[in-house]
Amino acid sequence: MAREPNILIVDDEPAVLRALQLAFEDAPWRVEVAVSHRTAMEAYRRVPFDLMVVDKNLPDGSGVELIREIRCEDHELRFIMITGYASAGSALETANLGVEAYLEKPFRDIFAVRDTVEEVLGRPANQLASGVQQLFANPRESKPPQALQAEEAAAEAAGDASSDMLDVVIASADRPAGELIVEHLTNWRTTCRVTSPAGLSAELKPKVPAVILVCGGRGVLGAVQRVRDESATVPIVVIAERLGVQDIVALILLQVVAIIDDRPDSAKFRIRLWNLLAVVRKQRALAAPG
């Protein structure tokens, strides 16, 4: 018999804890609470949790850093972020760490939070997303140019050495940006197709690509929604700077694999793109029959 899911609520506001405990009272889950980063880590070491509901601001640190710390060693634990101070920066960080919902306080309907938890627990595990999250788990510290060049060369060599050809669709309203991404992938054993966001749905037929890169700012959300209307599982990476918090929250709910906010002409962008595609390639190889 399968055990009941274990859920940890991490928040230092007594009213929020009471409300969530009330909403979860009759749910088929075991619920514990923690009021700080420290007590959450103590509970994490003690109990095999399936999901954590984490407040962004904790008395002894950041909920984002708590998630990052756990994500460095745990690929499977699921997270929902709650906050009374939503920001594009924290939403972006949590999206790339695998947070599956980003909810704002005060809650308009506490039982809608319960519905979100139930939905997240019911989703199948995404092994590709788990692999991608490890790329974002370490803080993005500034590196000297020599270190970036070495990392870039290693990432490019990994793609060049692979025997698996990847089918990549690039949707970009800015044609030069799309062509620049194609140029980055020249030695990466990929077949690249560049299209506009409006023409993206047609690229899913008759063959679904290995990954879709949606590039740009305005229109990104609509393009991702059109893809999800056609396919719930195709991996989507969004490439966009300066997205608003509501757009990022919507992209989290649409289950994009990652959001890259670096300029496409930067070394950091190329490294991140190549490493993401390496994870895609690895997961496809693991999923292949035989």
> Which of 125, 158, 192 is where one domain is finished?
125
H/E stretch holding 278 reads helix 267-287
Residues 6+ apart with CB under 8 A from 58: 10, 11, 12, 36, 37, 40, 66
In a domain, 131, yes or no: no
Asked if 47 and 103 sit in the same domain, the reply is yes
Asked if 153 and 87 sit in the same domain, the reply is no
The domain in which residue 178 lies consists of 148-287
Asked if 154 and 281 sit in the same domain, the reply is yes
Q: Are 252 and 91 in contact (CB under 8 A)?
A: yes
In a domain, 135, yes or no: no
Asked if 117 and 153 sit in the same domain, the reply is no
- Residue 88 belongs to a domain with what CATH number? 3.40.50.2300
Asked if 175 and 261 sit in the same domain, the reply is yes
In a domain, 132, yes or no: no
Asked if 182 and 235 sit in the same domain, the reply is yes
Asked if 258 and 206 sit in the same domain, the reply is yes
Asked if 153 and 116 sit in the same domain, the reply is no
Higher pLDDT, 1 or 28: 28
Peptide bond into 206 cis (omega under 30): yes
DSSP 199: G
Cβ of 196: how many Cβ atoms within 10 Å? 15
Q: What is the pLDDT of residue 282?
A: 81
In a domain, 139, yes or no: no
Number of domains comprising the chain: 2
What tokens does 205 get? 């037929």
Q: What is the pLDDT of residue 290?
A: 55
In a domain, 111, yes or no: yes
Model pTM above 0.85:
yes
Asked if 162 and 263 sit in the same domain, the reply is yes
Cα 160 to Cα 88: distance, rounded to the nearest angstrom: 35
Asked if 40 and 168 sit in the same domain, the reply is no
In a domain, 133, yes or no: no
Q: What is the pLDDT of residue 274?
A: 87
Per-residue pLDDT band at 1 (split at 50, 70, 90): very low
Q: What is the pLDDT of residue 187?
A: 81
Cα 247 to Cα 220: distance, rounded to the nearest angstrom: 9
Q: Look at phi and psi of residue 269 and say left if phi exceeds 0, alpha if psi is from -120 to 50, else beta.
A: alpha
In a domain, 137, yes or no: no
In a domain, 56, yes or no: yes
**Segment 21-51, tens digit of pLDDT:** 999 999 999 999 999 999 999 999 999 999 9
Q: What is the pLDDT of residue 284?
A: 80
Cβ of 30: how many Cβ atoms within 10 Å? 15
Cα 202 to Cα 283: distance, rounded to the nearest angstrom: 25
Q: What is the pLDDT of residue 2?
A: 65
Output 225-228 pairs: Cβ under 8 A, ≥24 positions apart: 225/254, 226/197, 226/200, 226/201, 227/200, 227/201, 228/254, 228/255
Asked if 114 and 153 sit in the same domain, the reply is no
**Segment 235-290, tens digit of pLDDT:** 999 999 889 999 999 999 999 999 999 999 998 898 889 888 888 888 887 776 65
Residues of the chain with pLDDT > 90, as a percent, come to 58
Cα 141 to Cα 181: distance, rounded to the nearest angstrom: 24
Asked if 194 and 259 sit in the same domain, the reply is yes
